[in-house]
A = this chain, B = another copy of it.
Amino acid sequence: MSNDPQAPENELDPSLFEAPPMGEQERMVEAVLFASADPVTIKDLTARLPHGSDPTTALVHLEKRYEGRGVRLVRVGEAFAFRTAPDLSFLMRRETVETRKLSRAAIETLAIIAYHQPVTRAEIEEIRGVGVSRGTIDQLLEMEWIRIGRRRMTPGRPVTFVVTEGFLDHFSLESARDLPGLKELRAAGLLDNRPPPSGAETEGEAPSESEEGDLFDGDAALGSDAPDPPDGAR
């Protein structure tokens, strides 16, 4: 199939440039569209394919090839991309819904990571005041709500944890900075639902926004710049 003789179009180009046969061009466009994180414009395709290629024609072939398949070639503005066939979108949405609430330990750990990232396990434990079980961290990692960030440049070079895009997605946040600060939490009555016993002094020296500010100054703050630790894997 791959080298099918749709190539004739090419003959129009005097083979000055020796563009690959149309079947090959089609494969190339297919691979590029597949691997690209964003829709790809014709201009882009032209730049990436071997000189003399005709991506527009290749796209026409490709579109035909995917007609009726589970995936379709679609046009997105000036660019092209593969998309799930609309009638199969239910497959994408389908989740085996046996929802369970996150344990308190997990949610607290998650909260600390979200507010303090990048944060080490020792720091989490310090904030929670109790140990963090390996299982809790593992669960959050597995849910892909947190991931391992940069190592802290302190003795022992401990790994840090940061929240993921998946986390932001789930909580509909643009970025971790969007998490309400302490002031807002208090305004929402969330901080006061368990009044400190010794009263007075706490109100004044609340951990304050200034401290909050710090949290995200670390440039490792969110996924973005410190991409996935490993090699290509993903």
Contacts and interface: CB of A to CB of B under 8 A. Distances in A.
Please give the count of copies of this chain that the complex contains.
Answer: 2
B233 A84 contact: no
Given A34-B82, A35-B84, A27 B70 contact: yes
Interface stretch (A10-18, A141-149, A183-191): A141-149
A36 interface: yes
Contact of A170 (B48, B97, B145, B233): B233
A45 to B, nearest CB: 10
Nearest to A93: B48
Contacts of A1: 67-69
B30 A70 contact: yes
Given A70-B26, A170-B231, A234-B38, A159 B143 contact: no
Interface residues of A, number: 54
Given A28-B91, A47-B96, A92-B31, A233 B143 contact: yes
A200 interface: no
B84 A231 contact: no
Nearest to A30: B70
Given A88-B28, A142-B229, A230-B144, A71 B169 contact: no
Nearest to A99: B231
Contacts of A232: 96-97, 99, 170
A94 interface: yes
A29 B85 CA distance: 12
Nearest to A89: B31
A97 B227 CA distance: 10
A97 B47 contact: no
A166 interface: yes
Contacts of A135: 157
A104 interface: no
Interface in A55-78: 67-71
Contacts of A100: 229-231
